[in-house]
Amino acid sequence: MEKIEHRAVIKFLTKQGKSVQTILEEMSSVYGESCPGKTMVYKWHTLFKQGRASLEDDPRPGRPIEVTTPEIIQKVEKLILEDARLKKKQLAEMVGVSDTTIFKILHDHLGMTKVSARWVPRMLTPPQKQQRVECSRAFLDLCNEDQDGVLTRIVTGDETWVHHYEPESKQDSMQWHKKGTPPPKKFKVSQSAGKIMATIFWDSILLIDYKDKGVSITGEYYASILERLKEAIKAKRRGKLTKGVLLLHDNAPVHKSRVALASLYKMGFDILVHPPYSPDLAPSDYYLFPKMKKELRGKKFSSDEEVKEAVSAYFSDRKNIFFRGYT
């Protein structure tokens, strides 16, 4: 009965015109740990927007759908473009097909693989490969002129979700035990619905912004963060603004929005060109965020404020050498 109650709430809030994120946040504040996940909320929000009336599951005789149609492939591709961190199981639930079908679509039809927790094309097109080469050469040429000077000018940043609870990975929870004794049991636990979006800029930590509930990250919002970043650099890195800031961030739409680019131009920041589908070239994706989240795994936080305190404590314990060589 609980899932029917959840669906009734989602239906009511959808009829009020509220977004998936707003619905998830309102339900999380009421239901806490029993709140449905984003995948479930997204699925039923979409169904109710399309006019569905029933709260019950559709009859599903037999195994999940294994048919791969152009419409299903297109739907999977659209979801990946909206959120490149979706897992196969989440995609399967959202599209209504099996995990196996999702795997085939991602690998065989879309030619994608996962890099640094993001789905990216497994086989980049020749122009995309050439763009990676050109970006790398341009950066090497820049370093050849004055490597130390260039490296001291760089600031990088990105957004990431930090959950109130993220279970330990199998590797994190490994324990020593004597030969012949049974290994400790590990029960499957899901990450919490409660989470907060953090935007972090760093050479070492310069600025951490936490998005308020119900607020969307738009070009205007990102531009306001960039203004605060400039003030943080002015206060914490004397002389860096005079040398000229080199900003490295990815190609997210808000980063490339007209208002964000206008803000960067106004502040005099130069942009290090980042090739598409290249989280392996983004220090936040391949280094900073995984390190931070590994430390927070297995810890339960009861509020956004506790998450913020844990993130601050983690970075305050890092020595400068932690940040060297990665920006």
Q: State whether 116 and 221 are in the same domain.
A: no
- Residue 177: per-residue pLDDT: 38
Asked whether residue 226 falls in the same domain as residue 105, the answer is no
Clarify whether residues 163 and 106 are in a common domain.
no
More confident residue, 84 or 284: 284
CA distance readout (Å), 129 to 64, 121, 248: 37, 11, 19
137 and 276 co-located in one domain: yes
Q: Which of 121, 154, 172 is the last residue of a domain?
A: 121
- pLDDT score of 189: 46
Whether residues 219 and 269 share a domain: the answer is yes
Considering the domain architecture, whether residues 94 and 154 belong to the same structural domain is answered as no
pLDDT (tens digit, 9 = 90+) per residue, 232-258?
999 999 999 999 999 999 988 899 999
Last residue of a domain, one of 121, 142, 175: 121
Percent above pLDDT 90 for the chain:
34
| CA within 13 Å, CB half, 254 | 15
One domain for residues 47 and 144:
no
Beta-bridge partner residues of 192: none
Boundary-marking domain end, from 121, 144, 179: 121
175, 35: one domain: no
- In tens, the pLDDT along 207-222 reads 999 998 888 889 999 9
132 shares a domain with 87: no
Q: Which residue has the higher pLDDT, 110 or 203?
A: 203
pLDDT(128) > 80: yes
Domain extent, residue 309, equals 126-323
Q: Is residue 313 very low, low, confident or very high in pLDDT (cuts 50, 70, 90)?
A: very high
Overall number of domains in the chain: 2
Mean pLDDT for the stretch of residues 144-167: 90
CATH of the domain at 298: 3.30.420.10
Closest CA to 158 of 237, 94, 84, 215: 84
Confidence band (pLDDT; 50, 70, 90) for 174? very low
Q: Do residues 187 and 228 both lie within one domain?
A: yes
- Whether the per-residue pLDDT at 305 is higher than 90: the answer is yes
- Are 78 and 135 part of one and the same domain? no
pLDDT over threshold 90, residue 259: yes
Q: Which long-range contacts (CB under 8 A, 24 or more apart) does 62-67 make?
A: 63/98, 64/92, 64/96, 64/97, 64/98, 64/101, 65/96, 65/97, 65/98, 65/101, 66/97, 66/98, 66/100, 66/101, 67/97, 67/101
Tell me which long-range contacts 36-45 makes (C-beta under 8 A, separation of at least 24): 36/3, 36/6, 36/10, 36/193, 37/190, 37/193, 38/193, 39/90, 39/93, 39/94, 40/6, 40/93, 41/10, 42/94, 43/93, 43/94, 44/7, 44/10, 44/11, 44/14, 45/10, 45/14, 45/20
Shared-domain flag, residues 80 and 208: no
Task: Please check the confidence at residue 67 and state whether its pLDDT lies above 80.
Answer: no
Whether residue 121 is predicted with pLDDT greater than 80 in this model: the reply is no
Separation between Cα atoms, residue 88 and residue 44, nearest integer Å? 18
